[in-house]
Amino acid sequence: MPELPEVEHTRRNLDRWMRGATLKKVTTEDARIVAPTKPSAFVRALTGRTVTAVERRGKWLRLLFEKEAPAKARQLFVHLGMTGWFEHAIAGQEEVATNPLQSAGSRSLRFERARFAITRTVRGKTRQESVIYVDPRRWGRIILAGDDIPAWTSLGPDPLVDGIDVARLAKKFARRKKQSIKEALMDQTVLAGVGNIQAIEALWKSKIDPRSGASAIGPKDLASIAKSLRWTIERTLDDLAKGDDGVDNPFKVYGRKGEPCPRCKTPLERFDLGGRTTTICPACQTLR
């Protein structure tokens, strides 16, 4: 499901559900998603861990465990891929999917891939709960590790955690003679967490054609893009916090080919750019 805002939303959920909780029973059979890839080893190393913090960098999540945890099981890295999400189930209550990017009709635990049974004490009462990872396409990853993994270490600055340094961006983009500005923004070593939707929305807001060369974007445009990224990330985050997941498409132009541009009413167009679908207003987004 996820780009930066959805993953941050997931982080806040996991923090509420799991911080201070102990993993009593871990269940998975999916050698494709978890590491260590032998599910029995994954389960064994994870059982008994206590979650002390839930962090996010870009589209990656990191659960930290108690410092007494075995050296090889200090942290759990999670990537939701394209279609992963987490459920929360309290014993005795109905388990209902809450993936904010899935339509209400497709809610299901049919594609459960891993389950974490936890106990935690809330106001003096010990509660039995479960956190469930669901992922139809199985592109997600749940990686138990001691040290940081390369995927985490190689990430660029996170727009929310670190802010956007326009001067540093300009330096990186200057050398990208063939790459488009949209592809450059989606490069996770440039900015961690910007995906197809957020790039589309930000470039629309800044009135820049996504096909513009990255090296052709001047400092003024870059400052505008930084502002637009903050705008679309915050907007998406607010939409998610509202929690009414029945709303089909909360975005301004993404997925709205043929609809009038919210700014100038020109019909929006769609095309492929670097293998990803891209929506623009052909009138008010111009080439640099």
Partner DNA sequence: ATTATTGTTGGTAG
Partner DNA sequence: TCTACCAACAATAA
Whose Cβ is closer to DNA: residue 46's or residue 200's? 200
Which residues, including other chains, have CB under 8 Å from residue 175's CB and lie 6 or more apart? 215
Whose Cβ is closer to DNA: residue 23's or residue 169's? 169
Output the smallest distance, CB 251 to DNA, in A: 10
Separation CA 233–CA 189 (nearest Å): 18
Tell me which residue of 189, 194, 193, 192 sits closest to 175, measured CA to CA: 189
Residue 94 bears catalytic tag: no
Residue 120 bears catalytic tag: no
Separation CA 17–CA 132 (nearest Å): 11
Separation CA 157–CA 230 (nearest Å): 14
Which of 11, 49, 57, 59 is an active site residue?
Answer: 59
Whose Cβ is closer to DNA: residue 49's or residue 57's? 57
Whose Cβ is closer to DNA: residue 19's or residue 270's? 270
Give the pair of three-digit tokens for residue 3: 């780009």
Q: Count other C-beta atoms under 10 Å from residue 206's C-beta.
A: 20
Whose Cβ is closer to DNA: residue 207's or residue 276's? 276
Residue 236's Cα: distance from chain center in Å? 12
The answer to whether 279 and 249 have CB atoms below 8 angstroms apart is no
In 3-state terms, what secondary structure has residue 224? helix
Which of 2, 5, 100, 157 is an active site residue?
Answer: 2
Output the smallest distance, CB 52 to DNA, in A: 25
Residue 3 bears catalytic tag: yes
Strand pairing report for 125-134 and 269-273: unpaired
Whose Cβ is closer to DNA: residue 48's or residue 213's? 213
Tell me which residue of 100, 117, 110 sits closest to 137, measured CA to CA: 110
Which residues, including other chains, have CB under 8 Å from residue 104's CB and lie 6 or more apart? 245, 246
Which of 257, 276, 282, 288 is an active site residue?
Answer: 276
Output the smallest distance, CB 14 to DNA, in A: 17
Which of 3, 6, 8, 201 is an active site residue?
Answer: 3
Residue 276 bears catalytic tag: yes
The answer to whether 162 and 56 have CB atoms below 8 angstroms apart is no
Output the smallest distance, CB 50 to DNA, in A: 27
Contact residues for DNA, defined by CB under 7 A: 1-3, 6, 32, 58-59, 79, 81-83, 101-103, 105-106, 110-111, 136-139, 151, 172, 175-179, 186, 188, 195-197, 254-255, 270, 274-277
Output the smallest distance, CB 267 to DNA, in A: 16
Output the smallest distance, CB 66 to DNA, in A: 27
Which residues, including other chains, have CB under 8 Å from residue 167's CB and lie 6 or more apart? none
Residues assigned a catalytic role: 2-3, 59, 276
